[in-house]
Structure 1
Amino acid sequence: MDPSENTKGNPTTQQVGFFLVPHFSMMALSSATEPLRAANRLAGKPLYSWHLISADGEPVSSSSGFALLPGFAMTSAPEFSHLFVVASIGVENYRNEQTFEFLRRYAATGRPVGGISLGTLILARAGLLERRRCTIHWEALRALADEFPSIEVTRELYCIDGDRLTCAGGTAAIDLMLDLIARQHGHQLAAEVADQFIHTRMRASQESQKMAIQWRYGIEDRRVVNAITLMEQNIERPIPMKTIASLVGISPRQFERMWLKHFNVRPSQFYLELRLKAAQKLLHESTYSLLDVAMRCGFTGASHLGRCYRKFFDRTPGRERNAKDAL
Structure 2
Amino acid sequence: MRSTASASAPASRVAQPAPTRQRHFVFLLLNKFTFLSFAAAIEPLRIANRMSGQTLYRWTLVSENGQDATCSNGTTVKVDAGLAEFGRDDVVIVCGGIDVRAASTPAVLNWLRKVSRRGSVIGGLCTAAHTMAAAGLLENRRATIHWENRDGFLEEFSDTDLTKSVFVIDGNRLTAAGGTASIDLVLTIIADDHGKDLANAVADQLIYTAIRTDRDIQRLSIPTRIGVRHPRLSRVIERMEQSIEEPVSPADLAEEVGMSTRQLERLFRRYLNRSPKRYYMELRLARARNLLMQTDLSVINVALACGFASPSHFSKCYRAQYGTTPYRERGTHGLEDEQGAEPSFDEGEPPDDLG
Considering the TM-score relative to the shorter chain, is it more than 0.5?
yes
Q: 1:292 to 1:92 in 2, by over 3 A?
A: farther
Corresponding residue SS for 1:298? coil
The worse-fitting range, judged by mean Cα deviation, of 19-28 and 107-116 is 107-116
**Structure (1/2) with the larger helix percentage:** 1
The worse-fitting range, judged by mean Cα deviation, of 110-119 and 190-199 is 190-199
Pairing partner for 2:324 from 307, 315, 325: 315
Corresponding residue SS for 1:72? coil
The amino acid that maps onto 2:301 is: D
User: Which residue pairs with 2:35 in the alignment?
Assistant: 26
User: 1:22 Cα deviation (Å)?
Assistant: 1.1
Corresponding residue SS for 2:124? strand
Q: When the two structures are aligned, how many residues end up with a matched partner?
A: 321
User: 1:88 Cα deviation (Å)?
Assistant: 1.9
1:148 correspondence with 2:169? no
Deviations 1:159-218 (A, max 9, x none): 111111112122111111111111111112212222333322111102211111111111
User: 1:222 Cα deviation (Å)?
Assistant: 0.7
2:82 and 2:222 map into 1 onto residues whose CA distance is: 43
1:266 correspondence with 2:275? yes
2:286 and 2:104 map into 1 onto residues whose CA distance is: 28
User: Which residue pairs with 2:352 in the alignment?
Assistant: none
1:245 correspondence with 2:246? no
Deviations 1:114-156 (A, max 9, x none): 1112211211222222232222222333333332322222222
User: Which residue pairs with 2:16 in the alignment?
Assistant: none
User: 1:19 Cα deviation (Å)?
Assistant: 0.7
User: Which residue pairs with 2:3 in the alignment?
Assistant: 2
**Quick check: 2:88–2:118 contact (8 Å CA) kept in 1?**
no
User: 1:249 Cα deviation (Å)?
Assistant: 2.1
Q: 1:72 to 1:80 in 2, by over 3 A?
A: farther
The amino acid that maps onto 2:233 is: V
Q: 1:231 to 1:123 in 2, by over 3 A?
A: same
**Quick check: 1:31–1:170 contact (8 Å CA) kept in 2?**
yes
Pairing partner for 1:223 from 229, 232, 250: 232
User: Greater CA radius of gyration, 1 or 2?
Assistant: 2
User: 1:77 Cα deviation (Å)?
Assistant: 4.7
1:115 and 1:203 map into 2 onto residues whose CA distance is: 18
Q: 1:321 to 1:101 in 2, by over 3 A?
A: closer
Determine what percentage of the aligned residue pairs are the same residue: 37
Pairing partner for 2:147 from 126, 138, 144: 138
**Quick check: 1:92–1:287 contact (8 Å CA) kept in 2?**
no
1:287 and 1:246 map into 2 onto residues whose CA distance is: 37
User: 1:109 Cα deviation (Å)?
Assistant: 2.7
4+ aligned runs moved over 6 Å, structure 1: none
1:34 and 1:259 map into 2 onto residues whose CA distance is: 44
Structure 2: state its 5+ residue gaps: 9-18, 333-355
**Quick check: 1:278–1:297 contact (8 Å CA) kept in 2?**
yes
Corresponding residue SS for 1:45? coil
User: 1:6 Cα deviation (Å)?
Assistant: 5.6
**Quick check: 2:6–2:55 contact (8 Å CA) kept in 1?**
no
1:57 correspondence with 2:66? yes
Q: 1:144 to 1:276 in 2, by over 3 A?
A: closer
Q: 1:224 to 1:198 in 2, by over 3 A?
A: farther
Q: 1:22 to 1:94 in 2, by over 3 A?
A: closer
2:46 and 2:5 map into 1 onto residues whose CA distance is: 12
Structure 1: state its 5+ residue gaps: none
**Quick check: 1:57–1:69 contact (8 Å CA) kept in 2?**
no
User: Which residue pairs with 1:82 in the alignment?
Assistant: 91
Deviations 1:277-311 (A, max 9, x none): 22222233223222222222222233212211222
Corresponding residue SS for 1:211? coil
What TM-score do you get using the length of structure 1 for normalisation?
A: 0.90
1:305 and 1:198 map into 2 onto residues whose CA distance is: 47
RMSD: 2.2
1:14 and 1:230 map into 2 onto residues whose CA distance is: 45
In the TM superposition, what are the counterparts of 1:288-307 in structure 2 within 5 Å? 288-307=297-316
**Quick check: 1:86–1:116 contact (8 Å CA) kept in 2?**
yes
